[in-house]
Amino acid sequence: MMPRPNVVVFLADDLGYGDLEIYGNAALRTPHLNRLAGEGVRLNQHYSGSPLCAPARASLLTGRYNHRTGAISVESNRGLDRIALHEATIADVFKQAGYATGMVGKWHNGLHDMRYHPNNRGFDEFCGFLNGGMGYWDWVIERNSQPQHSDGTYLTEVFTDEAVQFIERHTHDPFFLYVAYNAPHNPLQAPADEVQPLLENDSINPAVATLYAMIQRMDSGIGRILDTLAARGLDDNTIILFTSDNGPWLGNDRLDGEVMSMARFNGPFRGMKQDVLEGGIRVPALLRWRDGLPANMEYHDMVHFTDWLPTLMAACGISTLPDLPLDGLNQLATLQGETGVVPAQRFWQYNRYDPVGQCNAAMRDGDWKLYWPRIPEAMVKLASDNEDYHQNMHRPHLLEPVANPPVARTLSEPGAPQLYNINDDPYEANDLSAQQPDRLNRMKTTLENWFETVEKERASLHLL
């Protein structure tokens, strides 16, 4: 009898569709991710659950739309990143099925309260940080609740080392390993000798060169982990998934105190991190399982973050579903080239603080996409909510009360909804709402009903 597959999920942070060599970026080199693509399945229509970090991760971890879980934004001091305690995570599911479960890297789904800690959300082992960001040279992380301060090692290497050691400890156990690198999320920091060759490219500025060096270092780490699996005889029956939490940040950022643009290649897509335009939610995905999937295959149907929990469960023969109904569907059969169910409809919505249904919202129905533009005032983060984030980059995890008082703001009226055919127009340049009024109205109603349903569920939660 074949042993149950192991699972390794790699999650990059703010890495866009165009930040990999295999998607047409000629400015950097990602040979190990290229190898994954050649040895597995490349998903060309793969979507995050949200255009922002914590909500996206909640969707991936639970198989449910992030609104249902309570994780609607990133402000840990308000508890808006937390996954409700009655939700089962993918680690809970695999642990219950007898897998050793480990997490390495960035959590950002509950801070300041041990009930929301990874070790209490299904992960037997955890090495990483709970904050939304961390420095790469001057860092403070924890191993199973015990703080560890920087020894000068580049943080991406620390996480790679931890992942390798987890695999070595559990060579003879079925395991589920979640490797959530914080690269290439800011701060923009990378070894100088790796940045320097990228600066020879006149088409990118020093900030983008540094970000590409961060991606290349992560790619090297992934290569070490793949090599460890091979050395232990585990690579044929280990499912590898690589993806990113959301699209890239293409606005301004700081490098050594200087403000620079992060504008760069992002494939044929408009928008960026925080947008429910394609550039904010359509993210790379590579899937390799030598014993169970074809090699060097491109997959063109829609796959959403919520699909991974039921799909990985099916691949590993786990039949006991979480108590709460999943929004995702098992897509294993179609990924294996067989006939299966491919969901036609998907939904997204994101703004700061209280969700606004006609702000930065979208739905797909087959090739068609309805898009409600941003309401500018609803996207603004209070400066006071950044203080906790910056403090937590320099201090060990601490327990403290959080509060989410109402945010006083006056919102502009929503803009008009837009309609696109994504198959014909992936850049979302040609609004067809005037030509397709009946379709527009049907999709508006469907999106409104979805939003009302998930918000009603969120309103019943007690996260503080």
What is the reported pLDDT for 1?
63
List the one residue out of 94, 81, 109 whose CA is nearest residue 8. Answer: 94
Kindly report the CATH number that applies to the domain delimited by 346-459: 3.30.1120
The catalytic position among 46, 53, 117, 359 is: 53
What is the reported pLDDT for 375?
98
Q: What is the mean pLDDT of the chain?
A: 97
245-267 pLDDT, tens per residue?
Answer: 999 999 999 999 999 999 999 99
Assess whether 53 carries a catalytic annotation: yes
List the one residue out of 91, 104, 121, 8 whose CA is nearest residue 318. Answer: 91
The catalytic position among 46, 108, 117, 185 is: 108
Confidence class for position 464, pLDDT limits 50, 70, 90: confident
Q: Is the pLDDT of residue 407 over 80?
A: yes
- Fold classification of 6-343 (topology level): Alkaline Phosphatase, subunit A (3.40.720)
Average pLDDT over residues 360-375: 98
> How do beta strands 125-129 and 345-349 pair?
unpaired
**Cα(365)–Cα(265) distance, integer angstroms:** 27
Alpha-carbon dihedral 103, 3, 312, 62, rounded to 10 degrees: -40
What is the reported pLDDT for 434?
98
Range of lowest pLDDT (15-19, 177-181, 330-334, 337-341): 337-341
Confidence class for position 297, pLDDT limits 50, 70, 90: very high
Average pLDDT over residues 269-287: 98
203-231 pLDDT, tens per residue?
Answer: 999 999 999 999 999 999 999 999 999 99
Assess whether 316 carries a catalytic annotation: no
What is the reported pLDDT for 338?
87
Average pLDDT over residues 30-40: 97
Confidence class for position 3, pLDDT limits 50, 70, 90: confident
Average pLDDT over residues 56-67: 98
Q: Is the pLDDT of residue 318 over 70?
A: yes
Average pLDDT over residues 388-395: 96
Radius of gyration of the chain, Cα coordinates, nearest whole angstrom: 21
Domains 6-343 and 346-459 share a fold: no
User: What percent of the chain shows pLDDT beyond 90?
Assistant: 97
For residue 364, the cross-strand partners are 346, 369
Domain ranges of the chain: 6-343, 346-459
Report how far apart, in Å, the C-alpha atoms of 51 and of each of 156, 281, 283, 380, 390 are.
23, 5, 10, 15, 21
